[in-house]
Amino acid sequence: MHDVVIRGGWIVDGTGAPKRRGDVAIDGDRLVAVGVVDAPGRREIDAAGAIVTPGWVDIHTHYDGQVTWDPELSPSGWHGVTTVVMGNCGVGFAPVRAESRDFLVQLMEGVEDIPGSALTEGMSWNWESFSEYLEEVDRSPKSIDVAAMLAHGALRGYVLGDGRPNDPATAAEIEEMCRIASEAIEAGAVGISTTRTLGHRAGDGEPAAGTFAGSDELIGIGAALKGHGRRIFSVVTDHIFTGGDTAAGEFAWMAEISRANGVPVTYMVLDIPGRPDRWKGCLSEGLELSRDGVQLVPQVAGKPASVMVGFESSDHLFSGHAGYQRLAELGYEERLTELRKPEVRAAILAEEVVPASAMMAVMHASLERIFPLSDPPNYEPAPEQSLAAIARREGISALEVAYDRMLERDGHELLYMPALGFGGGNLNNLHSMLTHPDTVLGLSDGGAHVGIICDGSMPTFMLTHWVRDRPGETLSLEQAVNIQTQRTAKLFGFDDRGVLAPGYLADVNVIDFEQLRLDTPSMAYDLPAGGKRLIQGASGYVATLKSGEIIRENDASTGAHPGKLLRGPQELRGG
């Protein structure tokens, strides 16, 4: 008798092989049979009509603080994810001295839009070194497995001091950063991450620590990865989008880290407004260097990075209006009562627009690219669905359309502004990136950008949009599963997961594919200190198993916490 048998589903095994009908048997934390299983299970799951896949492996999240207070790692845990990698974009919380905690909080708050009050109150801060931080993560209850990269910003702050976030590092300081990075790798860090993008600003408005680090520093800390098996150096950088000598210089130091240390370097490729087709060069120029011991791996998104605009958002189209600012401190229900008054509406709409932030300025310049968010959400709307197009048809202003739509659903309605990945007004470029044989799926940003962005639901979007619902070019079901299981697991050397085959870890999703549905994003006030965040659930997950335990059933948590901390690569046991 087996511990668990999943009966009669369509097995999509993660390798890209054609789906097939069969059973899956689990004993302990391992898969023991995939195909025909005659023996019964102590627990049986009826998967007739459902698909059975490996658990999703999400390699680009920001749960560095949340992991210490949220066992579910929501929203990722709600969407079939069974393994996450955090510590991306050069921001994290270790190593840290007590007097520098606020520095790292405001760095994370600025770069990843996670409320600083939630981070300050939610974390125990029972650590200084990266090793001690991993011990805290290890002790924290978890539904899913967690791996962490060492963040360059935290490392730099620890060695140079938080008053010198972008000062040049001396040779001695680089040597010290390499020493501490080596200790972190030995303790279990799965890699090192850095950011070199000007869009990443700390809470004080300054560029994130490490943004202007010299190539000698980056190559120096990269040396800590040598001799430790499969580890990753992860880079987010604006410089490759410039092209020419600037991009070539950026790719050169990335290639040197890979060549000198025998590790992959993954870099982010984005479809950026105003730079049509530059993403193609970012792919080809990096991949051309991937020979003679160099492995540069482009990391791409599965859905457009999108801003959600509503009266509950941290920033919206009317944030800078004096008439709105007078109401901003009211309780939400009282504020809505005022906003619904015709005279208040007329006064706010009559004001001259003075953007209160860079984001608000972008919104006001993008009314042709802001759309009502449907239910279920439509992330690839046609141009005629934009606020501006609706306004032309109705003979009113686009801001009037926005104001009225944002008051719908009792003031909880959201508008959708795709910021990246929407070149040409569609997702065709993303399709090309996703189907490229050398890219890896990332950039879900689970746990981050909680005030105006809600992209941690990307794993479900990969099935609903790209496989089932998109009217244009699609992905096959087998492709969509492979690129968020075996392929992402393989990059980080997680060789024990991402495939449904005997010997692999029993991380499994059972999904009612035809009924799978993304919920409409909504604002929740469930962070520590009453902090708010955009969340998005899903329905259609019949069951999610982590290491053989059912952690979610019929879209609800079972309360099981079998998740573990992953320290470095994971080997496949037997088979």
How is the chain split into domains, by residue range? 1-53+465-516+539-555, 57-304+422-456, 307-418
Residue 330: per-residue pLDDT: 92
Residue-wise pLDDT tens digits, 399-421? 999 999 999 999 999 999 998 99
CA distance 133 to 148: 10
Q: Which residues contact 118 (CB under 8 A, 6 or more apart)?
A: 65, 527, 528, 529, 531
Q: Identify residue 160 by its one-letter amino acid code.
A: L
* 7-47 confidence digits (pLDDT tens): 999 999 999 999 999 999 999 999 999 999 999 999 999 99
> In this predicted structure, what is the pLDDT of residue 313?
86
pLDDT score for 360: 83
Residue 218: both structure tokens together: 């980056």
Q: Choose which CATH entry (1.10.10.60, 3.20.20.140, 3.40.50.720, 3.10.580.10) describes domain 57-304+422-456.
A: 3.20.20.140
Helix (H) or strand (E) holding 150: strand 150-151
At the second CATH level, the architecture of 1-53+465-516+539-555 is Roll (2.30)
Dist. CA 84–CA 317, nearest whole Å: 34
User: What confidence score (pLDDT) does residue 352 get?
Assistant: 84
pLDDT for 442 equals 97
Neighbours of 285 (CB within 10 A): 16
Range with the lowest mean pLDDT among 118-127, 313-322, 512-521? Answer: 313-322
Q: Is the pLDDT of residue 200 over 60?
A: yes
Tell me the C-alpha distance between 37 and 49, whole Å: 17
Q: How far is Cα 60 from Cα 87, in angstroms, rounded to an integer?
A: 8
Share of the chain above pLDDT 90, in %: 90
Pairing mode, strands 371-372 and 549-553: unpaired
pLDDT in tens, 90-120: 999 999 999 999 999 999 999 998 999 999 9
Report helix, strand or coil for 464: helix
- Can you state the percent helix, strand and coil of the chain, rounding each to 5? 35, 20, 45
Strand-strand pairing, 145-148 and 522-524: unpaired
Distance CA(27)–CA(301), nearest Å, equals 35
Cα(347)–Cα(324) distance, integer angstroms: 9
Distance CA 290, CA 287 (A): 5
* pLDDT band at residue 356 under the 50/70/90 scheme: confident
Are 505 and 495 a contacting pair, CB within 8 Å?
A: no
Residues 521-574 pLDDT 10s: 999 999 999 999 999 999 999 999 999 999 999 999 999 999 999 999 999 986
Contact partners, residue 514, CB within 8 Å, separation at least 6: 49, 468
Q: Classify residue 50 as exposed, middle or buried by CB count within 10 Å of its CB (0-12, 13-18, 19+).
A: buried
pLDDT digits (tens, 9 = 90+) for 46-91: 999 999 999 999 999 999 999 999 999 999 999 999 999 999 999 9
Q: What is the pLDDT of residue 574?
A: 66
pLDDT over 80 (residue 355): no
**Is the model's pLDDT at 500 over the cut of 70?**
yes
CA distance 528 to 229: 37
- What per-residue confidence (pLDDT) applies to 89? 97
CA-nearest of 83, 76, 75, 62 to 493 is: 83
Does pLDDT of 314 surpass 60? yes
Angle at 99 between CA 98 and CA 100, to 5 degrees: 90
User: Residue 374: which pLDDT band, with cuts at 50, 70 and 90?
Assistant: confident
Average pLDDT over residues 191-217: 95
Mean per-residue pLDDT of the chain: 95
Cβ pair 538, 79 in contact under 8 A: yes
Mean pLDDT of 143-156: 98
How far CA 244 is from CA of 239, 247, 248, 277, 285, in Å, comes to: 10, 6, 6, 14, 10
Q: How far is CA 342 from CA 262, 348, 409, 503, in A?
A: 65, 10, 18, 65
Which residue's structure tokens are 């407004």? 273
Amino acid at 2: H
What count of other Cβ atoms lies within 10 Å of the Cβ of residue 42?
Answer: 11
Backbone Cα Rg of the chain: 23
Q: Give residue 74's pLDDT.
A: 97
pLDDT at position 476 is 98
Residue 375 pLDDT greater than 70, yes or no: yes
Those residues with Cβ within 8 angstroms of residue 31's Cβ, 6 or more apart along the chain or in another chain: 24, 25, 500, 501, 502, 503, 504, 505, 506, 508
| Contact status, residue 44 vs residue 3, Cβ threshold 8 Å | no
